[in-house]
Amino acid sequence: MEHLTGVYETVLYARNLAEAGRFYAGVLGLRAVRENVELLDAFRLPDGGVLLLFNPDESSKPGREVPSHGGVGSGHVAFRMENGAYSAWLNRLRGAAVSIEQEVTWPTRARSIYVRDPAGNSVELVEGEIWGA
């Protein structure tokens, strides 16, 4: 039987792509790999995955080269941080004037920092393993 090997890309939605893009590139340090100011921004993660930010007004239009899609309301993405980097990330976020919405220590002793991007999406930074093996 064939097995999936990971998440290739994940999508969040933001109507103001420039503002959201500044958050993901400037605050979180993701590398921008494609920009289409009306439709999408794409960011490459160090593990090879891709975060796509789509403007839902544009991505939901019919007749595009791929099936139409769009979202209403806040989405969620969780990024893995390196072990031992929790305090550094808290300092980096606070230094960028990003409000910390919540911090959680999980039963597995993993820890999460939750913030909101400029579009209101929930962004989680995880140190450790939440779900177990």
Encode pLDDT of 1-26 as tens digits: 776 667 888 999 999 999 999 999 99
The CATH number that applies at residue 76 is 3.10.180.10
Question: Which pTM was predicted?
Answer: 0.91
Pairing of strands 31-36, 40-44: antiparallel
| Structural domain contains residue 54 | yes
Q: Residue holding tokens 């450790």? A: 128
The tally of domains found in the chain comes to 1
Encode pLDDT of 71-82 as tens digits: 888 999 999 999
Higher pLDDT, 31 or 2: 31
Question: Structural domain of residue 25, as residue ranges?
Answer: 9-63+72-127
Q: Say which DSSP state 30 is in.
A: P
| Structural domain contains residue 89 | yes
| Structural domain contains residue 4 | no
Mean pLDDT of 85-101: 96
The secondary structure of 41-66 as a DSSP string is EEEE-TTS-EEEEE-HHHHTSTT-SS
| Structural domain contains residue 53 | yes
What pLDDT score was predicted for residue 65? Answer: 85
Extract the tokens encoding 88: 């550094």
